[in-house]
Structure 1
């Protein structure tokens, strides 16, 4: 049986998952550190992997990182933790199977590449991935199966932080789905504005994309998608582990 470790190193957290063939066998996560040594990361991953029951021989480790300052520690720490070769999305020998039509392909985040790879495999082309996280991103696979580009907008937590930081009297409000559309105090008003404003932004962009890509299938993913999924009036497949699935597909190609 083929086994791979895949790592989604994001701005907020690092998710480490084990796949046995196509089965997600286990996972763990920890907050993305501001800095960490390879030794510290290896120890942390060994301990958490043992607790999650995913230590053992693997064919390879595939990392999708959007935190370049951690890449050196990730490469060496994961190699020590799992005693296997480590590869990163974006390296020449990691084949995506996608023609990436970005002006500067190296600017495209590894998570967005993985999402596009997974969406193409799961729902075909054309496809649109909506990923709700630190930022909310739209990634488009066109009719020919190429990565066509996308959209990026600030995530809801960014909006909440900006309102508190850039105004004199508005407090920091927690992200929550409001009970009513109209807020009846300042906190409720902020929550209603950020929540329903984000819903409207996602629905509005989706409507415009559907007009342009009429046959496109939509996929929803991301750490914040459970907050918004029930409120969104768009036909879409909910796939919380989409990025991990995409990384697994890339790992399978890199470490057959």
Structure 2
């Protein structure tokens, strides 16, 4: 049994992999103030509720974009499982050739997604991850990570509008039927979500142009993250949604580094 932990700015996604399949996945709130003991209690409760034995965990891998939480998480792993975790970072085998000016600047989540995408699709790719921030990454069939861009996530945009405009309410992120809306809530939903769809389409278009200028073929576009399905239903530039892309990347990296 392998424990896979992906730490994002908003949520910690945890997966349990055994016998060539995912047998459980959980989502916790990311909280840098929690102690290792608090995280241990939460995790042990999840194991118990799902009828799983923590003693069966033979390996653990962690990917994080939140440095301040790592001390608590690594201590929790050592105390609860008596295992030294693999932490995605410099020195870890990935099979990906990072073409960034400074490869150490690339977020662990982007590397993990690239590893999974390269293994699963084996073609030129654009990877979109709709998280707290939305990341766009260009990856070649040969595993060359070319770079990409980062924009504020959809929820950040929505929260900023609510917090900075006194008369505008907090809204659910649902796509309305029309863009000419008759009330404030649907007007905000239309502006935020259709505006975001427009951003996705334009960035994908420009990324494809730059990749083709490098002599690459038409890239396949995959999306992951919380709102990937919501956006993908409204546009034809996303070829496939892969919800477990990050967990799959963690599993692959674990296999490359477990010895």
Q: 1:150-183 CA deviation, whole Å, 9 max, x = no partner?
A: 1111111111111122223323222111121212
Kindly indicate whether the alpha-carbon contact (under 8 Å) linking 1:45 and 1:81 is maintained by their aligned counterparts in 2.
Answer: no
CA displacement, residues 99-120 of structure 1 (integer Å, 9 cap, x when unaligned): 1111222221111111000110
Relative to structure 1, is the Cα distance of residues 251 and 53 closer, same or farther in structure 2, using a 3 angstrom cutoff? farther
Q: What's the offset of the Cα at 1:244?
A: 0.4
Q: Secondary structure at 1:163's aligned position in 2?
A: helix
Distance verdict in 2 for CA 1:21–1:147, change over 3 Å: farther
How far the C-alpha of 1:143 sits from its partner, in A, is 4.6
Equivalences for 1:27-42 in 2 at 5 Å? Answer: 27-42=25-40
2:191 is aligned, of 190, 193, 196, to: 193
- What are the ranges of 5 or more consecutive residues in structure 1 without an aligned counterpart? none
Runs of 4+ in 1 over 3 A off after TM superposition: none
Structure 1: how far apart are the matches of 2:199 and 2:20?
34
Measure the CA separation in 2 of the matches of 1:23 and 1:83: 24
Offset of 1:12 from its aligned partner? 1.1
CA RMSD of aligned residues (A): 1.6
Q: When the two structures are superposed, what TM-score results if normalisation uses the length of structure 2?
A: 0.91
Q: CA deviation at 1:235?
A: 4.4
Whether the 8 Å CA contact 1:28–1:49 is kept in 2: the answer is no
**Contact kept? 1:140, 1:149, Cα under 8 Å:** yes
- SS at 1:231 equivalent: coil
Distance 1:184 1:53, change over 3 A: same
Find 1:225's aligned residue among 223, 228, 240: 228
1:215 lines up with 2:218 in the alignment: yes
2:42 is matched with 44
Q: Hey, what does 2:17 align to over in structure 1?
A: 19
Q: In the superposition, relative to structure 1, how do residues 48 and 209 fare at CA in structure 2: closer, same or farther (>3 Å)? A: same
CA contact (8 A) 1:140 1:147 kept: yes
Query: In the alignment, does 2:240 pair up with 1:237?
Result: yes
Unaligned runs of 5+ in 2: 212-216
2:131 is the counterpart of 1:133: yes
SS of alignment partner, residue 226 of structure 2: coil
TM superposition shift of 1:64:
0.5
Q: Secondary structure at the match of 1:173?
A: coil
Equivalent position SS for 2:114: helix
**Deviation of residue 16 (structure 1)?**
1.2
